[in-house]
Amino acid sequence: MLREDLKKELDTLNDDQLKKVADFVAFIESQSEQAATSVPFWQRATPAERARDFRGWVLQLPKGSPSLPDEAFDRDSIYEE
């Protein structure tokens, strides 16, 4: 009912009024987009999207960087003698 009433009302508007309606609709859409982007990615993404994003992040890491020395992985190296 409301949709049909709105369609009839839109048909009676002139170009200036239609421009104002279009601007208002664009404003409402931008507000809803801002609300959606204010939620952090990790909260709104599916597990598959988060995994894809993580893999993409890993791929952009520098390749061939030096690794830690072997003694860094030795448990005894963290205790004082």
Give pTM, 2 decimals.
0.41
Burial 50-67 (b: 16+ CB within 10 A, else e): eeeeeeeeeeeeeeeeee
The most confident of the ranges 28-32, 34-38, 76-80 is: 28-32
Summary mean pLDDT of the chain: 86
User: Left (φ > 0), alpha (ψ -120 to 50) or beta: where does 64 sit?
Assistant: left
Per residue in 32-63, pLDDT tens? 877 666 788 888 899 999 999 999 999 998 88
Domain map (residue ranges) of the chain: 2-61
- Dihedral pair phi/psi, residue 45, rounded to 5°: -85, 150
